[in-house]
Structure 1
Amino acid sequence: MIVLFNKPYNVLTKFTDNDGRATLADYIKIPNVYAAGRLDKDSEGLLLLTDDGQLNHQLTDPKLKSYKTYVVQVEGDFSDEAARKLGLGILLKDGKTLPAKVKKIAPPDWIWARTPPIRERKNIPTSWIEISIKEGKNRQVRRMTAAVGFPTLRLIRRSIGQYDLGDLKSGEYKIIK
């Protein structure tokens, strides 16, 4: 079984939490499914869950990883030079990233309102980019955009390989197999 879930902002990618924070259990009532990979609590969008250990391995093994595509709102007017640097790979504290596929995009019309909304500063513009990576280092996209001078304000995972968020609303899931 594969479950596509549109993880809301501020939800942990696990089913239990001793501190009373929102978890997958608040949204998904399917027994014996586990997240294939992670999405930090500050990020939103596509999370795959499965009850198949072999499939989970295929989805998360670094040697087999597919591209993960994110739609990201960044602070500032995102530059071609920043896109070029990310496209070559960027040096982070834990090593150099693999080259990313990056492009500036128009603000997506399909995005839902976030609660709470992002912080906005009247005198600093924001930009939207689409970035695709094969790795999954901790908070990697956020660290990459910050390293080129454009801090991430909002991060939404749109797809993982062949699996796409589609028209799932925030907090919704669907079983596809």
Structure 2
Amino acid sequence: MRVVLGVSGASGAALALACARHLARLGARIDLVLSPMAERTLDTEVGPDAVGELEAIAARRHDIRDMGATVASGSHPVAGMIVAPCSMRSLAAIAHGLDDNLLTRAAGVQLKERRPLVLLAREAPLTLAHLRNMTAATEMGAVILPPVPAFYLRPNSVDDIVTQIAARAVDLLRLGPPVAAAWDGKS
């Protein structure tokens, strides 16, 4: 089972690593696509070894400019795609079919092939343009998953929050049993 993991330059770079770790535990082979700003954000927010760790987890890293990569084609079988984090620029390009780089093209392929596409849209506050782009992407079949903490789980750290949000994203691909902590019905 292959999964595309796209990483844009939005804040929240730790989400990409957490998603990759969850996917690896499920035995998924990851096709990684990083934007240039994603590399910078990973370095700034996570540390200088973050890109290397992502590359080590991934089965393959594709250059974002390589529009001939396997993940640019619907004939290449994958189980779905997560964009974590998803910048508003990437969201807008996906919502309007602007397949102008491999990240947005691979996302468009998921939509046209009716495969799961989960976008961890990262911005606040939201403008009307952001909301309309989220609506457009949702109408085409994407799932918008803003990285909002599940406070009812009483997280003890930022790492707990990041791990839970990434687990929810991976669960939305329906690759196996849920890995995210679930509400137990108690207050």
TM-score, normalised by the number of residues in structure 2: 0.28
Structure with the bigger percentage of helix: 2
Instruction: Work out which of the two has the higher radius of gyration on C-alpha atoms and give 1 or 2.
Output: 1
- Structure number with the higher strand fraction is 1
Between the two structures, name the one with larger relative contact order (CA 8 Å, sep ≥ 6): 1
The TM-score with structure 1 as length reference comes to: 0.29
